[in-house]
């Protein structure tokens, strides 16, 4: 289910809010007062949210790097505790640059940036990219995290499958690591996913071309590719990784490049 290319907002915001106007122009969304689709981007309280309008009393989805949840995750993050840190190869004296090539809501990339990595979010869905853009812009203005967020996090709107344009966008500076977390269909008998993830899956669908991401990533990464997979899923593109790092519900398949 793909939402219409529109953002619902109050007329005063449409007429006067330069941040909203810039965001709509950048991602080619129409600004409207009244249109409401089953999945709808809405500008309220000076931030962009995604709503499933058919479900009453359900909060919107947004990227908020300054929320209490983000603060907790950031403050708890450490090289020893974070499995993803070991997967991308972080060491006490080494922080790889990372292209988070399936950024989603940006949470894994945010943790890696909090640990000191230079992270580029890459997102091809325009609605999700707009949510990331808005969340990043607000975080840069935060007195506590704004400084390092501005230095370590950036966003590219595009697809990892188009590796030539991505390399051009990166100014030919290849990342040490390409991180992939493609959307994977849940098993029918698996536990119900969170409401937020259900809405998100309705928006982006399964990444049916995810096998191609691994092929493209090999042309972009300097040192390794890290693929986050459900513990029951086969390796991406049926290619055996060089090694894996396991967490409670997922595993990280690591493919070494130029070794």
pLDDT at 85: 95
Q: What percent of the chain shows pLDDT beyond 90?
A: 57
Q: What domains lie within the chain, and their CATH numbers? A: 6-52 (no CATH), 68-256 (3.40.50.150)
Q: What is the pLDDT of residues 158-195, one digit of tens each?
A: 887 776 777 777 766 889 999 999 877 655 544 444 66
pLDDT at 185: 60
What is the spatial distance between Cα 209 and Cα 206, in angstroms, rounded to a whole number? 9
> Where is pLDDT greater, at 192 or 220?
220
Q: What is the pLDDT of residues 8-38, one digit of tens each?
A: 999 999 999 999 999 999 999 999 998 888 8
Of the listed ranges 29-38, 46-55, 202-211, the least confidently predicted one is 202-211
pTM confidence score: 0.90
Residue 255 binned pLDDT confidence (cut-offs 50, 70, 90) = very high
Q: What is the pLDDT of residues 103-117, one digit of tens each?
A: 999 999 999 999 999
């Amino acid at each position: 289910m793909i939402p219409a290319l529109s953002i619902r907002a109050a007329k005063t915001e449409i007429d006067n809010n330069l941040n909203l106007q810039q965001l709509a122009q950048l991602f080619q969304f129409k600004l409207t007062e009244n249109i409401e689709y089953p999945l709808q981007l809405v500008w309220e309280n000076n931030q962009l949210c995604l709503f499933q309008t058919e479900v009453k009393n359900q909060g919107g989805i947004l990227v908020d790097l300054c929320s209490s949840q983000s603060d907790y995750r950031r403050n708890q993050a450490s090289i020893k505790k974070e499995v993803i840190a070991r997967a991308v190869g972080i060491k006490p004296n080494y922080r790889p640059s990372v292209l988070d090539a399936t950024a989603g809501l940006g949470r894994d990339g945010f943790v890696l940036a909090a640990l000191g990595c230079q992270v580029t979010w890459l997102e091809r869905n325009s609605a999700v990219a707009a949510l990331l853009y808005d969340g990043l812009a607000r975080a840069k203005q935060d007195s506590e995290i704004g400084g390092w967020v501005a230095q370590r996090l950036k966003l590219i709107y595009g697809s990892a499958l188009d590796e030539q344009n991505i390399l051009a966008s990166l100014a030919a500076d290849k990342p040490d690591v390409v991180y992939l977390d493609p959307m994977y269909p849940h098993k029918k008998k698996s536990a119900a996913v969170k409401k937020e993830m259900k809405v998100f899956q309705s928006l982006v669908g399964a990444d049916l071309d995810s096998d191609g991401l691994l092929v493209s990533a090999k042309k972009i990464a300097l040192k390794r590719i890290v693929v986050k997979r459900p513990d029951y899923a086969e390796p991406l593109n049926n290619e055996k990784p060089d090694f894996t790092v396991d967490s409670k519900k997922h595993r990280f398949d690591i493919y070494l490049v130029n070794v």
